[in-house]
Amino acid sequence: MTETRIPSRVFPRAATEAETAKHGVSTPQTEHPAYKLAFQDMDFLLSEELRPVRFQLELLKPELLLDEAKIGSMMVFYGSARIPEPGVKSTNPDPQVAASLEAKSRYYDEARKLAALASTTPVDEAGMRHFVVCSGGGPSIMEAANRGALDVGAESVGLNIVLPHEQAPNEYVTPGLSFQFHYFALRKMHFLLRARAVAVFPGGFGTFDETFELLTLIQTGKIKPMPVIMFGKEFWHRVVNFDALAAEGVISAKDIELMTFVESAEEAWQVVQDFYAK
């Protein structure tokens, strides 16, 4: 049999068809919105009825790009967007609150150091990268995490969310791994799909939301256990009375063991190493 070249595809690509559609004839029919290709019709794509499709797209786009980047696992960082870098004054107008935030600036340094440690993890035999740093992409603790990865020449992930007030990714996120989400639920899913360790720094509602969802998933067996490392035992025990929850019977005493409290990056990284050494 004579050797022949078999084409890889017989249908044109959607991008090609979209370009062809731009240069069609102009008639009342072709100018009407109904004639637009479905994937180019923004009114259609943003309609209420297409919400399930938008969910799928927001799940799929980061997944494909993270696969392409050979990211096998991530070290996820949760924490406040308000704690300043050491030496930088808080913008909070209340002097007492500003002083409290500035006193927590050491956690910026610890997040940065931990991110650098995690980013030294070598690739595996298949070329997959592990414990790649991932943050919410914003300022403060999130910035420190991405910055720590960059300190050692490593790439890092940022998962930003559209908010009513202007928000941009911090300058240390790898541009090709910087994602923006509309749905909080999909963003939180991407935090955990590849997470193999999570470092939690002092934070507010957002940090609580992400952390307690993670703890619930582990507690209920929906995901496998992983290191959940809580920075600042004094802070966490002051703002959440875990022992009282156990005493009231709404959690078990063993559930408190899902978290490990630490004060330094070195201590946190040792927790991760010990967990996976087992």
At residue 247 the predicted structure's pLDDT band, cuts being 50, 70 and 90, is: very high
When pLDDT is averaged across residues 48-71 and rounded to a whole number, the result is 97
Which residue did the predictor score with more confidence, 20 or 48?
Answer: 48
Q: 3-class DSSP state for residue 118? A: helix
Give yes or no for residue 234 having a pLDDT over 60: yes
Residue 28 has pLDDT above 60, yes or no: yes
Residue 88: how many CB atoms within 10 A of its CB?
11
Average pLDDT, the chain: 95
pLDDT in tens, 90-107: 999 999 999 999 999 999
Domain residues for 96? 57-277
Are 225 and 218 contacting, i.e. CB atoms less than 8 angstroms apart? yes
In a domain, 38, yes or no: no
Q: Is residue 31 part of a domain?
A: no
Confidence class of residue 225 from pLDDT cuts 50, 70 and 90?
A: very high
- Would residue 173 count as lying in a domain? yes
**Does 102 fall in a domain?**
yes
In a domain, 44, yes or no: no
Among candidate residues 37, 54, 75, the one with its CA nearest the CA of residue 268: 75
Instruction: Report the number of distinct structural domains present in the chain.
Output: 1
Residue 29 covered by a domain: no
The answer to whether position 70 is within a domain reads yes
Go through 134-145 and write b for each residue having 16 or more CB atoms within 10 A of its CB, e for each that does not: bbbbbbbbbbbb
pLDDT of residue 276: 96
Q: How far apart are CA 231 and CA 259, in angstroms?
A: 10
Nearest Cα to Cα of residue 136 among 97, 98, 163: 163
Residue 100: which CATH number?
3.40.50.450
* Residue 213: how many other CB atoms lie within 10 Å: 15
| 179 vs 137: CA distance, rounded Å | 8
* Residue 232 covered by a domain: yes
pLDDT classification of 1: cutoffs 50, 70, 90: low
Name the nearest CA neighbour of 80 among 26, 136, 128, 6. 136
User: What mean pLDDT do residues 56-79 have?
Assistant: 97
